[in-house]
Chain A
Amino acid sequence: SAVISQKPSRDICQRGTSLTIQCQVDSQVTMMFWYRQQPGQSLTLIATANQGSEATYESGFVIDKFPISRPNLTFSTLTVSNMSPEDSSIYLCSVEDRRTYEQYFGPGTRLTVT
C-alpha cells in the first residue's frame, strides 16, 4: 500500500485567508483524490486530480474556491480560498492502487476557520 503524508496536519486560519494543503505519496500514482470530512459527517469527494490534466470537480465544488495542482505523479496540493467558518473540516487526499482498486488515505489536515 502507498504511504501518504499531508502538510500541515492542522491549522487555524482567519476568515478570508487561503490555505494550501500538500499531499505527498511515496510512489507514482495516476489518480489522486481530495475529500472533505465536515465535523461528524462522512467524506465527500471534492475533486479528482490526474497528472498533466485539469482537476475534475464534483457538483458543489468549484476551481475558484478549491484550486488544485498536480505537478507530478507523487505530489498534489489543494488550496482552500477565501475561507469562511463553513470550511472548517478535515481535508484528506487519497490515491488509488490501479492493480487492486483500493484507495489509501492520508492522515488528513484539520482546518479550523475563525
Chain B
Amino acid sequence: GDSVTQMEGPVTLSEEAFLTINCTYTATGYPSLFWYVQYPGEGLQLLLKATKADDKGSNKGFEATYRKETTSFHLEKGSVQVSDSAVYFCALSSFDGNEKLTFGTGTRLTIIP
C-alpha cells in the first residue's frame, strides 16, 4: 500500500538558517504530493503541492520538487523565521478511486531567534 516516510524530528534551527525536511514515498501509479503545516494551536493547512513528476510546489518561501526517480518530495526553505515553527506533514494522494491522503509522521520544527 501507499506510504510516506518523513524525516524524524524534532528539528531545531537558528533564524535565517537553511531548512530541508526529507520526504520519500511509496505508491502505485502517479500520486499527487503535498506538504501540510500545523502551527501551534491551529488546524492543518495546505502549504504546497505537486501533481506530476518534476513539478515544483512553492508557497511562503517554501519549495518542494516532485522527484519520480528518487520517489522524493523534500521541503526546503532558504532562510527560516521564528514564525515557521510548526509541525510539517508530507502526504500523498493516489487516484485509485478513493482520493484519501496518506500522511507521514510529521516533523516538528522549532526556530530560535
Contacts and interface: CB of A to CB of B under 8 A. Distances in A.
Interface of A: 1, 31, 33, 41-45, 48, 56, 58, 92, 94, 96, 101-108
Interface stretch (B66-74, B78-86, B95-103): B95-103
A33 B100 contact: yes
Interface majority SS (helix, strand, loop, mixed), chain B: strand
A101 B95 CA distance: 10
25 contacts: A1-B46, A33-B100, A42-B89, A42-B103, A42-B105, A43-B44, A43-B89, A43-B101, A44-B103, A45-B100, A48-B100, A56-B98, A92-B43, A92-B44, A94-B101, A96-B99, A101-B93, A102-B49, A103-B46, A103-B93, A103-B101, A105-B36, A105-B44, A106-B43, A108-B43
Interface majority SS (helix, strand, loop, mixed), chain A: strand
Contacts of B22: none
B58 interface: no
Contact of A102 (B46, B100, B104): B46
Given A45-B102, A101-B32, 8 more contacts: A33-B100, A33-B101, A42-B89, A43-B103, A48-B98, A102-B34, A102-B49, A103-B101
Contacts of B89: 42-43
A8 to B, nearest CB: 15
A42 B49 contact: no
Contacts of B102: 45
Contacts of A92: 43-44
Q: Which of A41, A43, A56, A108 has the most CB of B within 10 A?
A: A43
A31 B105 CA distance: 24
B61 to A, nearest CB: 20
A104 B99 contact: no
